[in-house]
A and B are shown apart, each in its own frame.
Chain A
Amino acid sequence: GENVEQHPSTLSVQEGDSAVIKCTYSDSASNYFPWYKQELGKRPQLIIDIRSNVGEKKDQRIAVTLNKTAKHFSLHITETQPEDSAVYFCAASNPGGFKTIFGAGTRLFVKA
């Protein structure tokens, strides 16, 4: 079945450093890749997404890259801040858009 692998499971960085989270997906038909941030005890919230016809997208300190050939995509956070500390989930959605498969999550710690 469809699967999304996410690495690392835990990431600790110093404030101001960059953080990179990587995901691979198995369903070659996937064409939409959202990233969610989940703070402790709260709901997942969409922070950025990318479609399959785009290789890179940037929004302020956050960027996402997609390599469809290799079936992997990455989240890059630059100039990290303590408030970036959270669990980040990547996801892949099939063309029907109704079965979004999530990665296991990356717990990011940003140390002040």
Chain B
Amino acid sequence: NAGVMQNPRHLVRRRGQEARLRCSPMKGHSHVYWYRQLPEEGLKFMVYLQKENIIDESGMPKERFSAEFPKEGPSILRIQQVVRGDSAAYFCASSQDRGPNTEAFFGQGTRLTVV
């Protein structure tokens, strides 16, 4: 089991460009969570998805950010028209179900730098 795979590990974008971050959950996991970690700060919840459904996106900025988890393929976090403040590490986690006490496994993260 390869674990949660995120790519790319590092992404550099100029202001105004689009960033696409990918997350392949662990085998058998159908629940995906995205978190953002600003430098020297904690993990902020962004969005929770199941296959083809957004369950909770209360942590997502209202504009420029979107997420999907299609039936086939990885979950995608998309940031349009990036700004310097979007520079952060974006972590994806997956879990087998959503019951209480369910451990979530984290990917290695994508470090986005906006120049």
Contacts and interface: CB of A to CB of B under 8 A. Distances in A.
Interface of B: 31, 33, 35, 41-45, 48, 55-56, 58, 91, 95, 98-109
A32 B100 contact: yes
Contacts of A96: 98, 100
A102 interface: yes
Contacts of A45: 106
A43 B48 contact: no
A8 interface: no
Contact of B102 (A97, A101, A102, A103): A97
A16 interface: no
Interface of A: 6, 31-32, 34, 36, 42-46, 49, 51, 89, 93, 95-105
B101 A99 contact: no
A11 to B, nearest CB: 15
B33 A98 contact: yes
B42 A97 contact: no
Contacts of B45: 99-102
Given A43-B107, A43-B109, A98-B56, A89 B43 contact: yes
27 contacts: A31-B100, A34-B103, A43-B91, A43-B106, A43-B108, A44-B43, A45-B106, A46-B103, A46-B104, A46-B105, A49-B103, A93-B101, A96-B100, A97-B95, A97-B100, A97-B101, A98-B31, A98-B33, A98-B48, A98-B55, A99-B56, A99-B58, A100-B45, A100-B104, A102-B44, A102-B45, A104-B41
Q: Would you list the 8 A-B pairs with minimal beta carbon distance, nearest first?
A: A104-B42, A102-B43, A43-B106, A98-B48, A32-B101, A105-B42, A97-B100, A102-B42
Contacts of B55: 98
Contacts of A31: 100-101
A89 B107 CA distance: 16
